[in-house]
Structure 1
């Protein structure tokens, strides 16, 4: 069976101190807003950005690559799990849910 073709991705993780879902931006900073994440379209570049994220244990935990698609306002999730993660905790409005303008 041939390998699956590479699809666009973003690097995501959880903020070490607050636990929020964060995304790696083009400039190497972390953002809580998915539309500001760097959409990675080349496999080797995506692997390098993930490796970069994994060297920041003082900032984030659990970094991984997740599938996304290009949208008119930046990356958009292709799987329910990531769509759910980007909105923040679901038990009550706090963190990201206090300001839903970015969702």
Structure 2
């Protein structure tokens, strides 16, 4: 819940943009990495050959890399917040898609890990 309020605040206040980028990038990368480690693919990714199985892990690896790049972008934006605000906001809006993909592939399942 804190992350969503941080994202909306980052759109209004340029000083909060680097923190939002770093936090969202780390959360995306960590969520995708947890899915890679703890949750096996299911449904369509399991019973339709090897290609969907590899696609599942390929998507999650791409989200991990994207999350790390997003966090790095947060550090880059912090060097010149005013001059790099447009690039940071664009990257923050684009990062919504990988977050939705992680949640769709089972991101909420991490909350039930015991």
State whether TM-score is above 0.5. no
Larger radius of gyration: 2
Determine which structure has greater relative contact order: mean sequence separation of CA pairs < 8 Å that are 6+ residues apart, divided by chain length.
2
Name the structure where helix makes up a greater proportion of residues: 2
Structure 2 length-normalised TM: 0.30
Name the structure where strand makes up a greater proportion of residues: 1
